[in-house]
Structures are given as C-alpha cells and as structure tokens.
A and B are shown apart, each in its own frame.
Chain A
Amino acid sequence: GAVVSQHPSRVICKSGTSVKIECRSLDFQATTMFWYRQFPKKSLMLMATSNEGSKATYEQGVEKDKFLINHASLTLSTLTVTSAHPEDSSFYICSARGSDSTDTQYFGPGTRLTVL
C-alpha cells in the first residue's frame, strides 16, 4: 500500500519558536495533501488542503499566517507552526491523496507537538 511519512514524530519546543513538520508520500505522487490536528480522544479536524504548486485552502477558524503550508512538490508538503504557544500543542497528522477518483487518503503516522 501507499506509504506516507512524517517528520519529526515528536517535537518539544519553547513558546514563541517556530516548528516545521514534513509530510512525504514515499511511493506515489500526491496531487493533494491534507493537514489535520487531533486533540486527545477527539476526532481529526481538517486544518487545510494543499495542492501541489498552489496556495493552501484553510478551513474556517484556522489562521493561515500561523500555520504556514507549503506543497512544493508532488511528494512533499510542510506545515510550519509559527510563534507556537502552549495552546498549539496537539497531534498533527497529514494525509496524501493520489489522482484517482476514489478519494483514498493515506495518512502519515502523526507528529506530537508540545509547546512549553
């Protein structure tokens, strides 16, 4: 099956710093990548949708200047949490979707962000 990786798997940072999370599709080209965040015992919440070579589309309530998304190639998307604060601590998950019509998404293993 298709494999999606995320790096890092876990990051702890100080308040005010920026953190970059990478999402890679390892064996297929992802025309669309999605970024989610998940709080404990809650469902995944879609943050933004990114298509290769174009600006990301953010969900309502998600600050685009705080969560910078870059989808520079068909295999890589990055999420940068700028000036992170403790309330940004969460589990961030990316997914990638190919170009077929079935909407099958393949998810990365997630990144646990803790902001002190």
Chain B
Amino acid sequence: LAKTTQPISMDSYEGQEVNITCSHNNIATNDYITWYQQFPSQGPRFIIQGYKTKVTNEVASLFIPADRKSSTLSLPRVSLSDTAVYYCLVGANTGGFKTIFGAGTRLFVKA
C-alpha cells in the first residue's frame, strides 16, 4: 500500500491559486493518483486523477513529476466554497487492493 503524506492544513485567500503537494514515495508501477474533496458531513467527491505528467479538467490541474513520487493538486482562483479537506490517494484496481485514506489537507479559504 502506497502511503501518502500531505500538509495537515493550508490557508489561502479568495482568488489565489492553491497548490497542495502529496508525497507518495512507495508508489507502484500500476498505481494511479487520485484527489478527492470532502465537505463536512458529505462523502468525498472525485476531483481529478492522473498517472504521469499533467492532467487538467474544469476544476483543477494535477502535476506529476517523472519519478511519480509526489503530485501537486492545483486549484486556480479559489473561492470560499473551496474550503474543504482534500485527500490524495494512490492505488490501482488490481486484485486485493484497498484504499487507505491519509489525514488529508484542510484548506481554509478566507475572504
């Protein structure tokens, strides 16, 4: 199981770009990197997923260096509603695999 390490918390202001980095030194060849967002009393919501290099969708970008031992979630121009906990997970849909959540990063966006 690839263990992930993220900062416990981050503060930002509305309109700023926020980058959250996750370390996963033991990532396996078949593993994908997936980020989720969770608001209080709700289930996690899928944000973005990647395997290598850069992935971008309508809400975020994901940067993955060549060695894949870390990844950075980039949220452009955050708003108050982006205040949430962000989880980085690594894994693959192979037999016996299970997902273990780390502590996540609590992002607080201020006005």
Query: In the complex the two chains form, is A104's CB within 8 Å of B44's CB?
Result: no
Query: In this assembly, does A95 line the interface, its C-beta being within 8 Å of a C-beta of chain B?
Result: yes
Query: In the complex the two chains form, is B93's CB within 8 Å of A101's CB?
Result: yes
Query: In the complex the two chains form, is A108's CB within 8 Å of B43's CB?
Result: yes
Q: Which among B94, B97, B101 is the interface contact of A44 at CB below 8 angstroms? A: B101
Alpha-carbon gap, A77 to B92, bound state (A): 22
Query: In the complex the two chains form, is A109's CB within 8 Å of B43's CB?
Result: yes
Count residues of B near A (Cβ-Cβ below 8 Å).
26
Contacts of B104 in A (CB 8 A): 43
Contacts of B43 in A (CB 8 A): 4, 6, 93-95, 107-110
Query: In this assembly, does A28 line the interface, its C-beta being within 8 Å of a C-beta of chain B?
Result: no
Contact size range, A: 20 to 34
Q: Is the interface of A mostly helix, strand, loop or mixed?
A: strand
Query: In the complex the two chains form, is B99's CB within 8 Å of A107's CB?
Result: no
Q: Which among A99, A100, A105 is the interface contact of B99 at CB below 8 angstroms? A: A105
Contacts of B87 in A (CB 8 A): 43-44
Interface residues of B in 48-87 (CB under 8 A from A): 49, 87
Contacts of A99 in B (CB 8 A): 93
Query: In this assembly, does A54 line the interface, its C-beta being within 8 Å of a C-beta of chain B?
Result: no
Contact with B along A37-59 (1 / 0, CB 8 A): 00000011110010000000100
Contacts of A107 in B (CB 8 A): 36, 43-46
Alpha-carbon gap, A107 to B101, bound state (A): 13
> Do A101 and B42 form a contact, CB below 8 Å, given A43-B87, A45-B101, A46-B99?
no
Mind listing 23 A-B residue pairs with CB under 8 Å?
A32-B93, A34-B98, A43-B87, A43-B103, A45-B101, A46-B99, A49-B98, A91-B41, A94-B43, A95-B43, A97-B93, A99-B93, A101-B32, A101-B92, A103-B31, A104-B32, A104-B46, A105-B46, A107-B36, A109-B42, A109-B43, A110-B43, A112-B41
Q: Using a CB–CB distance below 8 Å, which chain A residues touch chain B?
A: 1, 4, 6, 32, 34, 36, 43-46, 49, 57, 91, 93-95, 97, 99-110, 112
